[in-house]
Amino acid sequence: MAEEMQAIRVHEHGDPSVLRYESVERPEPTADELLVRVRGAGLNPVDTAGRYGQIEYPLPWIPGWDLSGTVAAVGDAVTDFEVGDDVYSLVRFPDAGNAYAEYATVPAADVAAQPETIDHPTAAGVPMVALTAWEALFEQGDLQDDDRVLIHAAAGGVGHIAVQLALQHGATVIGTAAGYNQQFLTDLGVDQAIDYEATQFEDAIDEPVDLVLDAIGGKTGERSLSVLREGGTITPLLDAPPEEQLDAYGVVSQQVGVEADGDTLSEVATLIDDGAVTPTIAERYPLADATAAHEELESDHARGKLVLEPEGDTDA
C-alpha cells in the first residue's frame, strides 16, 4: 500500500477557499528525480493564477513551484545528490510543480544545494523570484556594472532580490515602492528610493537609465520609456509597452520568462552565503493555512515573500 502525505489540492477553480488540505498518495521519484521532504514552500502570484484557472492544470492540482527541503530518496540515475542533502528548487516550472505538500519529486537538474546561512522556509522563498530577477537583469537586460537601473515594485518578491543582485553587480539602482516601504529600500542599499504615492517617478529621476525592470506593467511600463536612454532596455514581467511607443523612444523591450535552473540557483546560493543577497520573508504559515496565505498574497501588501511550512516544520 502506497504511503500517504498531507498536501494542498485544488479540485475546482476559484478564490482562496478552494484550497483543500487533505491526504494524498506520496509520490515516488523516477530515475532522474529526487524525493524531497518539503520544509518550506514559497508562494508566488502565478500560484493564484493557477488556482483561478487562468493557467490550466489537470484537476485535482497541487499548487506551488518553490520549495526547500531535505532529500528523502534519489532515483537510480542521480549522482549529484544523496539522502540527507538540504536542497532548494523551482520545480518543473512552467509545468506543475506540486510543492504545497509534505513531499515532492523534483528533477535533479532543477535542484541546487540550499544556501547554508539561511533556514529552509527562507530558502523556499528564493527560487522563482531570484531566477526571475536574474533573467530580467542579466539574461534579457544585459546589465553592465556601470549601468543605471530602475526597478519597479522594488520592495516586492522579485524587486527586493533584483535590487541586491544589481547592487552587487556594481550598478546604480533606483527603486520605486509605497511610502511605508521607503526605509526598507534604503536598508537594501538603493541609490535612490522613490515613493510612487507621493511623486511621479519620471519627475524624480534626473538622469536617463539604461534598464528598467518592470514588475507592474500597463501604464507604469509605458511611462517608464521616458526615463530610458535611447537604445535602453525595458524588461517587463507582465505586458510589454506597445511597439509604436518603443519605436518612438528608440528603446527595446525584452520579455522576461523563467524556468527551472539548478545551475543559476547554485550561483544565487553562493551570493546569499557571501552576504551579497539577503532574502526577506514577510510571513510564514502552516501548510494547512494555505487559504489565509493566499488571501494575504492577493492583498498585495507583503514585503518580500510568503512561505508555507508543512506540519511539524515550523522554524525548520
pLDDT at 31: 98
Task: Please give the mean pLDDT across all residues of the chain.
Answer: 95
Q: Is the pLDDT of residue 313 over 90?
A: no
Sequence length of the chain is 316
Domain limits, the chain? 4-126+279-309, 129-253
Strand runs labelled E in the chain? 4-10, 19-25, 33-42, 66-74, 86-90, 103-107, 111-113, 148-151, 172-177, 192-195, 209-214, 228-236, 252-253, 281-286, 305-309
pLDDT at 301: 67
In sequence order, what are the beta bridge partners of 309?
Answer: 286
pLDDT at 314: 46
State the angle between helix axes of 45-52 and 290-299 in degrees (0 to 180), rounded to the nearest 10.
110
- Which phi and psi (to 5°) does residue 52 adopt? -80, -10
pLDDT at 316: 43
Q: Is the pLDDT of residue 312 over 90?
A: no
**Among the listed ranges 95-104, 260-269, 291-300, which one has the minimum average pLDDT value?**
291-300
Superfamily of domain 129-253: NAD(P)-binding Rossmann-like Domain (3.40.50.720)
pLDDT band, very low/low/confident/very high, at 267 (cuts 50, 70, 90): very high
**Architecture category of domain 4-126+279-309 in CATH:** Alpha-Beta Complex (3.90)
CA nearest 115: which of 153, 86, 95, 150? 86
C-alpha cell, 38: 518539503
Instruction: Give Cα 264 to chain centroid, integer Å.
Output: 13
How do residues 116-141 score in pLDDT, each as one tens digit? Answer: 999 999 999 999 999 999 999 999 99
